[in-house]
Structure 1
Amino acid sequence: MLWWPERAEATTMRIIDISTAVDASGWEPDQVRHEVLDPRDGAVHMSEEMRGHFGVDLDPDDLPDGEFLSLDRLTLTSHTGTHVDAPSHYGSRAHYGDGRPRHIDELPLDWFYGPGMLLDLTGCEGPTAGVEDLKEAFVRIGRVPEPGTIVLLRTGASAWAGTERYFTDFTGLDGPAVNLLLDRGVRVIGTDAFSLDAPFGAVIRRYLETGDRSVLWPAHFIGRHREYCQIERLGNLAALPGDHGFRVACFPIKITGAGAGWTRAVAFVDE
């Protein structure tokens, strides 16, 4: 027997897009190529394919409106736009499990949906935030992440998305800060910056000044010792209603054997 309640209590859910677009018009270290066959070009292309593969002559003008379907061709890296880094991106060997870091298509989906926590790092001075910066953020919001929390870092860098400055002017995490989050059971850490590490120039300068190899991309290289993922190049984090009370979905595109996959990251807010 089916039971239909006469009156069900409804919950309104707001969806907030926290992704940045793949935009071929923006500045990128590896420039994006986006070629578009419009519906008329698609009709001509389809006509040529039919003739070449099947020996069938079809005039493009025989199609409704003389059009078929559009087609987009893209040339880009898997680290363009909002994306999830897999453990295999951090190195070819892992010091955990069976020694082989997993690719993006091998990771459990439940990592990429869960309660979100927003940490505001916009007040940090310099290219690197550390343990004390995170602890101060925890005090401000009155809580620490629970296991399975997806932690999002708002650095303010997304204001420069599409410009060269986006790749040189942002705040990353140092190694101990990443370990602090992983110690809390966090599996996925997101940032609105180009990288979870400090900018490349800052990393190299610090290494040349100190000779300390531990300053070389520590946020990424920790992934050789502890399995976790990063979401890089998030956006619109200022639109979140607060530092918690929302859920995040950031399922990566399933690319076999890849070290990263694009994601349309969103936050769900019950109202």
Structure 2
Amino acid sequence: MVIIDLSKPIKYNKSDPWFMKVKIKHKPHKKAKWLIRILGLPFKLFPKNFEGWADDTIQKMGVHSTTHIDAPWHYSATTNGKKSKTIEEIPLDWCFGEGLVIDMKHKEDFDPIMVEDITGFLSKNQLMLKPDMIVLIKTGRDKFNGTRDFHKKGTGMSAEATEWLIDQGIKVMGINSWGWDLPLPYMLKKAKETSNSEYFWEAHLVGQRKEYCHMEQLVNLDALPYSGFKVAVFPLKIVGASAAPARVVAIIN
């Protein structure tokens, strides 16, 4: 069995924009020794070669800052008229299943991924979608991960392609770009230029009427075959949250 990590490291990166900054404080072993002494254990009763214990505190990390999975609650307070699921309410059986990679690396920046792009890829490579698969969209833009312009580059999913995947029985899907839609700054600009009130965040907003989850900021999809593997994407159980960091892995037997 081979396990391939599809998650980015969680660490401080000075090039991340302010809304992605992560800050972790690492506490050395020796600090715990003084804590134990204050709690009442004399130094002479410390175990031999006892260094204390290391500890760490996450001081700043948004739930969307790293490799994560979005809950339906992120897209809208309701889904098809019912309260949307928060992250701890997502069924765990959604989070493990047969995986499929859809290769869209040829798509230019700001050129949305359409239904015909996906069906053409599946037909060309003799691949078939099955209900409850976990579909991974490979754009190649994870090479910009950790750079200042990561959120400004890449292709992204259209509303039509997102809805089409849901209609095939796909509950969980993911992408190795910064976001699921086209880049956020580009969408803001085009919505204003076209005066189209339905343009902005169109793929996310499919979740207003059809229930699904997507992952963002995946990495290492080039290490995967198109099919023949399982995906595990178990989020942290943060009550009431719109998303959660996840250690996403692919498992190849």
Instruction: State the TM-score bracket (shorter-chain normalisation).
Output: over 0.9
- Residue of structure 2 in register with 1:7 after alignment: none
Matched, 1:245 2:231: no
Unmatched segments (≥5 aa) in structure 2:
none
| 2:109–2:153 contact (8 Å) kept in structure 1 | no
Match of 1:194 among 161, 173, 178: 178
Distance 2:146 2:118 in 1: 28
Once the 2 structures are TM-superposed, how far is the Cα of residue 261 of structure 1 from its aligned partner? 1.2
Q: Percent identity?
A: 31
TM-score norm. by structure 1 comes to 0.87
Unaligned runs of 5+ residues in structure 1 are: 1-12, 51-55
- Aligned-partner residue type, residue 32 of structure 1: V
RMSD over aligned CA atoms reads 1.7
Equivalent position SS for 1:215: coil
Per the TM alignment, residue 88 of structure 1 is displaced from its structure 2 partner at its CA by 0.6
| Offset from partner CA, 1:163-199 (integer Å, 9 cap, x none) | 1121111211010010111111000111111110111
2:31 and 2:107 mapped to 1: Cα distance?
Answer: 51
Q: Which structure would you say has the larger Rg? A: 1
What does residue 6 of structure 1 align with? none
Distance in 2 (alpha carbons) for counterparts of 1:89 and 1:61: 52
Q: How far apart are residue 45 of structure 1 and its match?
A: 3.5
> Are 1:60 and 1:66, in contact at CA under 8 Å, matched by a contact in 2?
no
Residue 262 of structure 1: how far off its partner (Å):
1.2
User: 3-state SS of the aligned residue for 2:142?
Assistant: helix
Contact 1:251 1:264 in 2 (8 A): yes
Q: How much does 1:62 deviate? A: 4.0
The question of 1:126 aligning with 2:82 is answered no
Q: Partner amino acid for 2:28?
A: D
The size of the alignment, in residue pairs, is 249
- Cα deviation, residue 243, structure 1: 0.7
CA contact (8 A) 2:11 2:23 kept: no
2:7 to 19, 23, 26: 19
Q: Which residue does 1:137 correspond to in 2?
A: 121
Whether the aligned pair in 1 keeps the contact of 2:236 and 2:244 (CA below 8 Å) is yes
- Aligned-partner Cα distance in 2 for 1:90–1:60: 57
Cα distance in 1 for residues equivalent to 2:242 and 2:49: 43
1:18 to partner: Cα distance: 1.1
User: Residues 165 and 140 from structure 1, CA distance in 2 versus in 1: closer, same or farther, beyond 3 angstroms?
Assistant: farther
User: What secondary structure, in the 3-state scheme, does the structure 2 residue paired with 1:172 have?
Assistant: coil
Residue 228 of structure 1 corresponds to 212
Q: Does 1:266 align with 2:249?
A: yes
TM-score under structure 2 length normalisation:
0.92
Distance in 2 (alpha carbons) for counterparts of 1:67 and 1:24? 26
Task: Confirm or deny that 1:83 pairs with 2:68.
Answer: yes
- C-alpha distance in structure 2 between counterparts of 1:26 and 1:112, whole Å: 32
* 8 Å contact kept, 1:248–1:267: yes
- Pair 1:47-2:37 in alignment: yes
1:212, 1:60 → 2: CA distance? 73
Summarize deviations over 1:129-183 as a string: whole Å, max 9, x none. 2222212221222123110010001111111111112111121101001011111
Q: Separation in 2 of the partners of 1:249 and 1:184?
A: 20
